[in-house]
């Protein structure tokens, strides 16, 4: 799985920050990626994205996207870079948009026979709109990440309260049946599934607090699941990656219920990229250290540039 490294001293623009709710996480990812690529001898230009405007330095070979959330993970930046003919890491604009919008992503999953929790998108907290969905329920933004704006409801009263709070800040909300069981994430790298990471919050759910508070969550990689179940989960992750037209890498979040049924929650096209993030954890389990992982991700983008140049030449 380990690819040949990039040629020495690529000029790489690392995009980080952004104006979304995940800005602070992205800054950490960008810093870690920049340091890793510099350690491999590449020239790095860091672009702290504040909005939608930016200027690329001259002589850039590729853009490494260490962004999360809107205008970074939702396809908008990808469309702009495609128009500029600048190769970039990760999924193209179409896949990024489809994956970031949870309603679109789940409809793609259903179309391709991939199990995902029952759901409904609402614009009001009226409980009658979602009466067909069983409790407990998860309420979350249709377009957001890092478990931001994540609520849980055990009954109608708590549902109305949660939906009301979420809709104060978002035009719509995704209401989803909560799958109780084992939470795992599967990294995809170069069209292969990495070892599973099991996520076990010490208390409550894997929300923003438990995701980014040291010691709040335990991680097990490889996840302590049977070989047949592990294989089935990895196959489901690869099927999701294909259904959403993924490219190069992604991270698929999933739930396994007590009957060992596999449910896909979402696909993250730009997973967290600090040395302790889940995607790097999975890569490390197969012997790919953090700097090598970052370089592989850059290599795949750079190879698209060389292929494009050869075709046009």
| Angle between helix 227-243 and 102-111 (nearest 10) | 110
Catalytic status, residue 9: no
Catalytic status, residue 272: yes
Catalytic status, residue 107: no
Active-site annotation holder among 22, 73, 101, 295: 22
74, 143 contact by CB (below 8 A): yes
Active-site annotation holder among 23, 137, 247, 251: 251
Catalytic status, residue 146: yes
Catalytic status, residue 275: no
Catalytic status, residue 289: no
Active-site annotation holder among 176, 177, 183, 253: 253
66, 14 contact by CB (below 8 A): yes
Active-site annotation holder among 268, 277, 295, 302: 268
Active-site annotation holder among 26, 99, 146, 210: 146
In this structure, what token pair is assigned to residue 24? 């602070």
Active-site annotation holder among 272, 277, 295, 302: 272
Cβ-defined contacts of 293-296 (< 8 Å, 24+): 293/36, 293/189, 294/33, 294/36, 294/37, 294/40, 294/64, 295/5, 295/6, 295/36, 295/37, 295/40, 295/42, 296/2, 296/3, 296/189, 296/190
Catalytic status, residue 266: yes
Peptide bond into 222 cis (omega under 30): yes
Is 218 strand, coil or helix?
strand
Active-site annotation holder among 61, 74, 183, 266: 266
Structural element, H or E, at residue 139: strand 137-141
Cα 81 to Cα 12, 53, 246, 303: the distances in Å are: 14, 12, 17, 16
For residues 34 and 53, what is the distance between their CA atoms, to the nearest angstrom? 21
For residues 88 and 49, what is the distance between their CA atoms, to the nearest angstrom? 15
Catalytic status, residue 159: no
Cβ-defined contacts of 203-212 (< 8 Å, 24+): 205/147, 205/150, 205/152, 206/147, 207/147, 207/150, 208/146, 208/147, 208/148, 208/150, 211/146, 211/147, 212/25, 212/146
Catalytic residues: 22, 146, 212, 251, 253, 266, 268, 272
């Amino acid at each position: 799985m380990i690819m040949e490294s990039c040629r020495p001293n690529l000029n790489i623009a690392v995009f980080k920050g952004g104006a979304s709710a995940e800005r602070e996480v992205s800054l950490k990812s960008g810093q870690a990626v920049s340091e890793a690529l510099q350690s491999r001898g590449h020239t790095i230009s860091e672009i702290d994205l504040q909005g939608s405007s930016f200027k690329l330095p001259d002589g850039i070979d590729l853009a490494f996207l260490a962004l999360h959330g809107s205008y970074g993970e939702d396809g908008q930046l990808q469309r702009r870079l495609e128009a500029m003919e600048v190769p970039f890491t990760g999924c193209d604009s179409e896949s990024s948009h489809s994956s970031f919008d949870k309603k679109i992503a789940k409809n793609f999953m259903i179309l391709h026979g991939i199990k995902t929790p029952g759901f409904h998108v609402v614009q009001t907290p009226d409980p009658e709109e979602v009466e067909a969905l069983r409790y407990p329920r998860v309420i979350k933004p249709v377009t957001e990440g890092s478990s931001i704006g994540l609520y849980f409801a055990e009954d109608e009263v708590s549902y109305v309260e949660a939906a009301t709070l979420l809709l104060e800040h978002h035009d719509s909300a995704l209401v989803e049946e909560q799958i109780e069981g084992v939470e795992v994430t599967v990294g995809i790298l170069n069209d292969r599934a990495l070892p599973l990471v099991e996520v076990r919050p010490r208390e409550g759910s894997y929300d923003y607090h438990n995701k980014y508070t040291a010691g709040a969550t335990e991680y097990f990689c490889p996840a302590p699941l049977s070989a047949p179940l592990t294989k089935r989960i990895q196959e489901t992750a690869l099927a999701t990656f294909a259904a959403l037209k993924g490219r190069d890498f992604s991270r698929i979040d999933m739930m396994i219920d007590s009957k060992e049924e596999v449910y896909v929650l979402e696909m993250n096209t730009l997973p967290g990229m600090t040395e302790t993030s889940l995607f790097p954890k999975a890569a490390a389990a197969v012997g790919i250290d953090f700097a090598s992982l970052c370089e592989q991700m850059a290599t795949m983008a750079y190879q698209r540039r060389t292929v494009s140049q050869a075709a046009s030449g």
